Structure 1
């Protein structure tokens, strides 16, 4: 049977989602836990990667499991072995041709920008000691609507078949102590959300202009430098099917 898993994790102690040699990853820890209980190799297929240090509230993966009488008991055991940083929230039986990656229609991320230093929130937010121009935050976010070539806002990856992505939502929510940037798209490139966010913050600080941000968005080869925000404040919120 094929099962769809929804997974939450704190990415601080991992080198990302995808299995890597000699590195601790979320996928690697989950596969080890499944294999230990089932006494056979298990291949977990995620909807996509998250970078080192990035968190997830709604990562999705699928797995094929045979001859298991009680899948809820199995997941209880996997959660126990995987440790407190990872938690499988739900498991549901899906059709045998369901694919966590290829069937996904969009993904949504949230990035938290703290208005001031906050020891209680520092591990999940990026502190800005000084005012950001909220008008410029909203102006930049509003420019991200539709399909763009994001090669100017991403780390080169030879596996990319295209650097075009379609943005479906790009908004800032303001609270007393923070801003939360929410962005959803059909696909994301490596470091893309962090570079978009980091560059928008540079605009809000007055170090770049809205026009320069727009220029880089419209022309990836423009002579405008992008900036990368820290991984610790980024969360994969949800994957849509």
Structure 2
């Protein structure tokens, strides 16, 4: 039995997140159905992590097992022909038999895109936000995140997480002519964490929260202290990194 990693991209608008759910379409279920059809046997995939309803992925990874896959180029053509237009398999690579898409990931990156003007071609892909935002102040607040490792204040209240510790490697806002893009990289993320951080940072940018208050929210470890979550359509899982040695 061989193990393979799939590199997947998807537009999450029409899905209730990555993970399989009863009576709701998910990316994972759609992918498993396509793989099972092409490979003519039941296939189960394990993703590098969950994305919520309406959230997108520029790079998601998932692993699955099969005796022999055959030529990767032929496999990619066949499975992409079966998948809907909003899900694409970018690559497939054989990995070590014990490699795990979720547990072997070392760093995960998200980006959150705020649109500063109405653009019909970006519908469902940005948060249209017309507030006057103080970007340097938002970056000052984002930099405070690197000083802490417990982010319970930015986690969903109902969660399966056994702890709220995350190592944030970087967090910053990038100013574009018509967009603000928040980039964040960590070893793990809590459910709803990035959207809660973005929603709270926007309050800082609007002048409705000071840096001291933002830091106090982190220390409070209570979700009710933080701001409302930013809407899902602006969020993208952008990169997942693994140690080189797991690839065959």
**TMscore range, shorter length:** over 0.9
How many angstroms does 1:67 deviate by?
A: 3.4
Instruction: Provide the rounded CA distance (Å) in 2 between the counterparts of 1:15 and 1:25.
Output: 5
Contact 2:150 2:164 in 1 (8 A): yes
**Structure 1: gaps spanning 5 or more residues:** none
1:93 paired residue number: 94
2:179 paired residue number: 178
Work out the number of aligned pairs and report it: 241
1:43-73 Cα shifts (integer Å, max 9, x gaps): 1011110001000011011111223333432
Matches within 5 A, 1:207-226: 207-221=208-222, 224-226=225-227
RMSD: 1.5
How many angstroms does 1:3 deviate by?
A: 0.7
Matches within 5 A, 1:36-185: 36-185=37-186
TM-score (structure 2 length as normaliser): 0.92
Instruction: Provide the rounded CA distance (Å) in 2 between the counterparts of 1:84 and 1:237.
Output: 19
Q: Identify the range of structure 1 (67-76 vs 104-113) with the bigger mean alpha-carbon deviation.
A: 67-76
How many angstroms does 1:146 deviate by?
A: 4.3
Instruction: Provide the rounded CA distance (Å) in 1 between the counterparts of 2:47 and 2:147.
Output: 26
Contact 2:34 2:79 in 1 (8 A): yes
TM-score (structure 1 length as normaliser): 0.95
1:33 paired residue number: 34
Contact 2:114 2:181 in 1 (8 A): yes
Q: Identify the range of structure 1 (223-232 vs 76-85) with the bigger mean alpha-carbon deviation.
A: 223-232
Instruction: Provide the rounded CA distance (Å) in 2 between the counterparts of 1:23 and 1:223.
Output: 28
Contact 1:146 1:166 in 2 (8 A): no
**Structure 2: gaps spanning 5 or more residues:** 243-248
Q: Identify the range of structure 1 (14-23 vs 76-85) with the bigger mean alpha-carbon deviation.
A: 76-85
**4+ aligned runs moved over 3 Å, structure 1:** none
How many angstroms does 1:37 deviate by?
A: 1.9
